[in-house]
Amino acid sequence: MAFADGRSHLSKVTLEQWFGVLLLAGLGVLVVDLVRRVVIGDLRFGTLSLFLWRGLVDGLIIALAAVGLSMTYAILKFANFSQGDLVTTGAFTGWTAAYVVGGIGVAEFGSTILLNADRGTSARELDMHLFGAPLAIIIGLIVAAVATILVALAIDRVVYRRMRNAGGIPLLIASIGVALALRYVIVFFYGEQTRGVTRSSPTVDHELFFWTDSLNVHQSSLVVIGVALMIALHLLLQYTKLGKAMRAMADNRDLALITGIPTERVILMTWIIGAGLTGVAGYLIVLETETLSFNTGWFLLLLIFSAVILGGIGSIYGAIAGGLIIGLATNVSLVWIPGDLTEVAAFTLMIMILIFRPSGIFGGVETA
């Protein structure tokens, strides 16, 4: 403990920087090792590119949900633990819509409305993939966003609005309650089983990219949708009055109120944008993993938080970067460690970066 005693302000900073140097050196060693493995042929280049591609796909999903989380974090000033279950809400409502639309004339309504809770229909029967039922899947995507927004707004109305000035920790605890209630309301309707929802993705053969000659359509459309949404969000936040109002509110709510910004309306828009992105993320996860359970979003929650914290809470671009880092970390770490420890790698990375920079990589930039 003597070290804690004698630590002055100045030496603390050097300690942090020293740890940062160590962290960067460690990451550097890993990169060098990666190159070495590829060069001597331990690791085939095809495998590495597959890891990178999957990292990008996972990272974009996490980033979408993380942006939603980061926005509510910046505007409402609390860590929303029900974010994971909003992801699940988006997945269930969206795919239910897809099943209902895709099942018209093919499957019974009683089975499709509960997303096959009675095992009466199947993805095979509905031909549920992007080329088999494109209309159903697009409708599902829209419903996922809209339904998640409605659920989030209802929760805000019932719970969070009453606690606007309650402070971060009480709101956090309330959001844990919301998460529990939401998750088990979903169980009440849809049951506990993990279900296969989509068929495996069709592939397109091509000569464009050198690492693979067949492109996974589901993953590719996921990447396209994810990137498009993020660009749209960037434009919205940079070039509209709403974006400016959001940034003002993230910076100082009272000052924003005084300058005439309608704070409740900004909060409403925050929920709409954040929950919409979250619902889309939940819907797209199923497109990639092909299965869905009531725990899907909850298991993802900590990864989403890791992404937000890595980027620095409140920073939208930080959340995107954090999501990609977490996605890449969980996949590229497979080079060194077994598959059941990849999340451990991601969480450890988050914790170590927090030691280096206690407020995230882009920390302190609480601007939406």
Among the listed residues 48, 50, 142, 181, the single contact to another protein using CB under 8 A = 181
User: Could you tell me whether strands 291-292 and 214-216 are parallel, antiparallel, or unpaired per DSSP bridges?
Assistant: unpaired
User: Using the rule CB under 8 A, is 65 a contact of another protein?
Assistant: no
Among the listed residues 57, 146, 179, 261, the single contact to another protein using CB under 8 A = 179
How large is the greatest C-alpha to C-alpha distance in the chain, in angstroms?
76
Q: What is the dihedral of CA 233, 236, 239, 242, to 10 degrees?
A: -130
| Cβ neighbour number for residue 22 with a 10 Å cutoff | 13
Among the listed residues 18, 131, 189, 211, the single contact to another protein using CB under 8 A = 189
Among the listed residues 42, 118, 213, 264, the single contact to another protein using CB under 8 A = 118
User: Using the rule CB under 8 A, is 184 a contact of another protein?
Assistant: yes
User: Using the rule CB under 8 A, is 79 a contact of another protein?
Assistant: yes
User: Using the rule CB under 8 A, is 30 a contact of another protein?
Assistant: no
In angstroms, give the least distance from the CB of 156 to another protein: 12
| Cβ neighbour number for residue 228 with a 10 Å cutoff | 10
Give the helix/strand (H/E) hosting 292. strand 291-292
User: Using the rule CB under 8 A, is 110 a contact of another protein?
Assistant: yes
From residue 288 to residue 307, the character string flagging contacts with another protein as x (rule: CB under 8 A) and all else as - is --------------x--xx-
Among the listed residues 71, 146, 147, 178, the single contact to another protein using CB under 8 A = 178
From residue 226 to residue 255, the character string flagging contacts with another protein as x (rule: CB under 8 A) and all else as - is ------------------------------
Among the listed residues 52, 142, 180, 227, the single contact to another protein using CB under 8 A = 180
Measured from the CB atom, the residue of 122 and 348 that comes closer to another protein is: 348
User: Using the rule CB under 8 A, is 1 a contact of another protein?
Assistant: yes
Task: Kindly give, in sequence order, each residue whose CB lies less than 8 Å from that of residue 250, ignoring residues fewer than 6 positions away.
Answer: 74, 75, 314, 366, 367, 368
User: Could you tell me whether strands 195-196 and 203-205 are parallel, antiparallel, or unpaired per DSSP bridges?
Assistant: unpaired
Joined tokens for residue 48: 């590495």
Measured from the CB atom, the residue of 60 and 326 that comes closer to another protein is: 326
Applying CB under 8 A, the span of 88-96, 249-257, 270-278, 355-363 interacting with another protein comes to 355-363
User: Using the rule CB under 8 A, is 358 a contact of another protein?
Assistant: yes
Task: Kindly give, in sequence order, each residue whose CB lies less than 8 Å from that of residue 309, ignoring residues fewer than 6 positions away.
Answer: 322, 350, 354, 360
Measured from the CB atom, the residue of 215 and 302 that comes closer to another protein is: 302
In angstroms, give the least distance from the CB of 47 to another protein: 20
Straight-line distance from the first to the last Cα atom of the chain, in angstroms, rounded to the nearest whole number: 40
Tokens 């849809």 correspond to what residue? Answer: 190
Measured from the CB atom, the residue of 113 and 272 that comes closer to another protein is: 113
Applying CB under 8 A, the span of 24-32, 93-101, 253-261, 351-359 interacting with another protein comes to 351-359
Task: Kindly give, in sequence order, each residue whose CB lies less than 8 Å from that of residue 170, ignoring residues fewer than 6 positions away.
Answer: 163
From residue 312 to residue 331, the character string flagging contacts with another protein as x (rule: CB under 8 A) and all else as - is -x------------------
Residue 343 near residue 326, CB atoms below 8 Å? no
**How many residues contact another protein, by CB under 8 A?**
56
Joined tokens for residue 114: 């509960």
User: Using the rule CB under 8 A, is 169 a contact of another protein?
Assistant: yes
The contacts found for 291-294 with CB under 8 angstroms, 24 or more apart, are 291/194, 291/195, 291/196, 291/197, 292/91, 292/92, 292/95, 292/115, 292/194, 292/195, 292/197, 293/192, 293/193, 293/194, 293/195, 294/88, 294/92, 294/183, 294/184, 294/186, 294/187, 294/190, 294/192
Joined tokens for residue 162: 């009453």
Question: Which amino acid is present at 352?
Answer: M
Closest CA to 328 of 34, 42, 43: 34
In angstroms, give the least distance from the CB of 13 to another protein: 12
User: Using the rule CB under 8 A, is 99 a contact of another protein?
Assistant: no
Residues that bind another protein (CB under 8 A): 1, 4-5, 78-79, 110, 113-114, 117-118, 159, 162-163, 166, 168-174, 176-185, 187-189, 191-192, 302, 305-306, 309, 313, 337-338, 340-341, 343-344, 347-348, 350-352, 354-355, 358-359
